[in-house]
Amino acid sequence: MKTALTKKEVHALFKTVRQLRDRGIAIMFISHKIDEIFEIADDVAIMRNGRNVYLGATSSLTRKEFTYYMTGRELTDTRFCPENVSAEPVLEVKNLTLAGSYHDISFELCKGEILGVTGLLGSGRTELALSLFGLLKPDSGEIYLKDEKVKISSPIEAQKLHIGYVPEDRLTEGLCLRQPIADNITLSSLKRLSSKLGLIKQKDILAEADVWVKKFSIATDDPMKHASTLSGGNQQKIVLAKWLSNELDVLILNGPTVGVDVGAKQDIHELLHELARQGLAVIIISDDLEEVVANCSRVIVMKDGAIVGELQNEDICSQAILNIIR
Amino acid sequence: MELTRKLRRMTRKTEFYLFIVLVLMCVAIQIISGGQLLEPNTIVDIARSLTIFGMFALISLVVVISGGFDLSFPTLASLTYSVSTSICLSMGWCQETAWMAFLLAAVIGLVLGMLNGFIISRFKLNTMIVTLGTQTLFLGISMGLLQMPEITSTLPLGLRYFGEDSLFEVFSSTGMRSTMPTAFLLFVALAVIVWFVLRFTMFGRALYAIGGNEVSAERAGINVKRTKFWLYAFVGLVAGIIGMLRVCMVRQAIPKGLNGWDLKIIPAVILGGASIYGGEGTVFGTLVAAILMTVISNSLLLIGIDSYWQDFFNGLVILAGVTISAVQAKRRSI
């Protein structure tokens, strides 16, 4: 329910919730966000796979225990260490400008890198991503892919250039919820899956879907079930699979783990690390600073449509990013 | 394991239950009517009434899957057959064979369909509103601008011959004769084509994806504009041909002859398990629903119910169908 709220709104919501509690109203708060639970809940019941695995006061739990109860495994956040970073950049953006959204944006991205783009809501980070995927036309500036100047005028064009985009809101922009998981996974790779005559066989679709269901351990017993039957984390894995089943040079993710539980979040992060190690160039757009710190080898900080700072490897920490934003 | 999986997939579908309803209903009518439903001539009569209804249902299904509604196909078809028949009349064509009228209908239908497609894809408008507009527009062109006449006894002979052409004839136990129209083959052919396109082609997959979520489909690299344009263009083309077929079968071309069919056909498609929100629907479901509706309207007389109860029963069946699909959709999303 709160996934789409900003920090400020969450704060206001909590204030109201506390007022109601003080008036003697019992409140049941359902969430998978650790921070929120520790902030608001007096007691907590943790459920996993349909069973109650913990019941007690929140204060007697540590974060680590909480995560363990939720996921059934010990999670260790490993920081991403880039290997095999290419010498030549695969993507180069020069002086990209869109009036009212962002201006004079220049950066380079190499294979094997995970670049973070962060900033507050309205800093132009999402608009920049949309422009790189052909959904917003920039006024001026240049984009180079593998040293070749390109014009990305539509998502179809972006796909031809091997750029993938995992959107901010997977429900409205990334998935066909009332359609089979298999169809969702294969939607972008239908051309590849079709025969010489351009015909698509259900058998091939299911085979391709099975590969990704296994690879990403998507929690379903039947890929013909609708995508809406899955949890947020598993849905996000479908969106990722959709893009990764194509040849890809650059993957842009906008808020990749918004509304995703801790276990799936860890899975997705590890997956991104693995992909980068295999030579994919990744851009993560996020305002989740912990996520940016744990996953990015380089971070660009945006404010009011401009790049106001850049951090590398060991310099990346939440405080440093916050200092730049302020 | 594989079998139980397939069974479970089947029971998740609305059309599976609809099929059971159809079978039960046929058994009931067969008993009440004293065995008249399964008389050969009753079956052939039902097949005859099903031909045009079923074909319109098939093209409506394709539109509903894409998340749209085409309300304009009845007036598009009637404008098309009125103009085509008039041209044939004044040129003296179609005295022996009917193909020239069908060619004209296909071309005119395609052009009118392209108009729908252009408006819908170019300006990204709500399909129901656009086709409601063109529905009235086509009627206006036919009645006001061109003042199309009713063509009955002067219908070109070629069209008449084609409409009377039959595959075989059957007799009931009381000696009543019915003929199976050759046009039924066209209905079967259309069903196979639509099934094939939806299941095996990029175009079909794109329709399901667009109906499922247009934004997601566009971002997955599907050319939404082009797909929608050709969808409505093809629907226009096929609707033109179906309209011409009906002229041959009823041996007259009445400019208002199909008015209101949209409100008969589209509910049948929904009854057949297609989602009103788009993205879902099968040829099998639509066929079962079309057969169900035709059987009901054809057999009310058999079981001694006045034919003006037909609308009542149609309404009842539609309500039942929509309720079933809503319950199904809810169950599937959990």
Mean pLDDT over A95-118 rounds to 94
- Beta-carbon contacts of B128 under 8 Å, excluding residues fewer than 6 positions away, are B68, B69, B71
Cα distance from B219 to chain A (closest Cα, Å)?
A: 6
- Beta-carbon contacts of B32 under 8 Å, excluding residues fewer than 6 positions away, are B303
Among A126, A161, A165, A187, the residue to mutate for chain B (most B Cβ within 10 A): A187
Cβ–Cβ gap B221/A176 under 8 Å = no
Q: Is A183 in the same domain as A66?
A: no
Residue B242 to residue A286: CA distance in whole angstroms: 54
Nearest CA in chain A to B275: A178
Tell me the pLDDT tens digit for each residue of B315-328. Answer: 887 787 777 767 76
- Whether the per-residue pLDDT at A3 is higher than 50: the answer is no
With tokens 């199976």, the residue in question is B180
- Do A169 and A256 meet the contact criterion of CB atoms below 8 Å apart? no
Q: Is A95 in the same domain as A59?
A: no
Cα distance from B185 to chain A (closest Cα, Å)?
A: 25
Quickly count: other Cβ atoms within 10 Å of residue B256's Cβ: 15
Query: ∠ CA A210-A211-A214 to the nearest 5 degrees?
Result: 80
Cβ–Cβ gap A173/B199 under 8 Å = no
| pLDDT attached to residue B11 | 77
Cβ–Cβ gap B212/A179 under 8 Å = yes
Quickly count: other Cβ atoms within 10 Å of residue B312's Cβ: 11
CB of B218 within 8 Å of a chain A CB? The answer is: yes
The CATH number of the domain holding residue A296 is 3.40.50.300
Quickly count: other Cβ atoms within 10 Å of residue A95's Cβ: 12
Domain assignment present for A80: no
Task: Enumerate the domain spans of chain B.
Answer: 50-169+179-260+274-281
Q: Is A38 in the same domain as A143?
A: no
Q: Is A44 in the same domain as A152?
A: no
Cβ–Cβ gap A200/B202 under 8 Å = yes
Burial of A315 (0-12, 13-18, 19+ CB in 10 A): exposed
Domain assignment present for A239: yes
CB of B6 within 8 Å of a chain A CB? The answer is: no
With tokens 């972008």, the residue in question is A188
CB of A145 within 8 Å of a chain B CB? The answer is: no
Q: Is B143 helix (H, G, I), strand (E, B) or coil?
A: helix
Can you read off the two tokens belonging to residue B230?
Answer: 């050709």
Residue B244 to residue B241: CA distance in whole angstroms: 5
Mean pLDDT over A83-107 rounds to 92
Quickly count: other Cβ atoms within 10 Å of residue B285's Cβ: 25
Comparing CB atoms, the residue among B9, B216, B329 nearest residue A175 is B216
Cβ–Cβ gap B9/A199 under 8 Å = no
Residue B309 to residue B294: CA distance in whole angstroms: 14
Q: Is A50 in the same domain as A114?
A: no
Q: What are the residues facing A285 on neighbouring strands?
A: A117, A254
Cβ–Cβ gap B275/A178 under 8 Å = yes
Q: Is A161 in the same domain as A206?
A: yes
Cβ–Cβ gap B202/A135 under 8 Å = no
Tell me the pLDDT tens digit for each residue of B143-188. Answer: 999 999 999 989 999 999 998 999 998 988 888 888 999 999 999 9
| pLDDT attached to residue A5 | 58
Number of domains in chain A: 2
Tell me the pLDDT tens digit for each residue of A150-207. Answer: 999 999 999 999 999 998 888 888 898 888 999 999 998 888 888 888 899 999 999 9
Question: Considering A16, A44, A71, which residue would you say is the last residue of a domain?
Answer: A71
pTM of the entire predicted model: 0.86
Cβ–Cβ gap A187/B279 under 8 Å = no
Going by pLDDT thresholds of 50, 70 and 90, the confidence category of residue A324 is: confident
Tell me the pLDDT tens digit for each residue of B125-145. Answer: 999 999 999 999 999 999 999
Domain assignment present for A266: yes
Tell me the pLDDT tens digit for each residue of B58-79. Answer: 999 999 999 999 999 999 999 9
Q: Is B125 helix (H, G, I), strand (E, B) or coil?
A: coil
Domain assignment present for A79: no
CB of B214 within 8 Å of a chain A CB? The answer is: no
Can you read off the two tokens belonging to residue B105?
Answer: 């209908």
With tokens 């052909």, the residue in question is A134
- Do A124 and A308 meet the contact criterion of CB atoms below 8 Å apart? no
Q: Is A63 in the same domain as A147?
A: no
Q: Is A162 in the same domain as A136?
A: yes
Residue B319 to residue B247: CA distance in whole angstroms: 31
**A259-262 long-range contacts, Cβ below 8 Å, gap at least 24?**
A259/A3, A259/A232, A260/A232, A260/A233, A260/A236, A261/A32, A261/A70, A261/A71, A261/A231, A261/A232, A261/A233, A262/A32, A262/A34, A262/A67, A262/A70, A262/A71, A262/A75
Range of the domain at A28: 7-71
- Beta-carbon contacts of B2 under 8 Å, excluding residues fewer than 6 positions away, are none
| pLDDT attached to residue B84 | 96
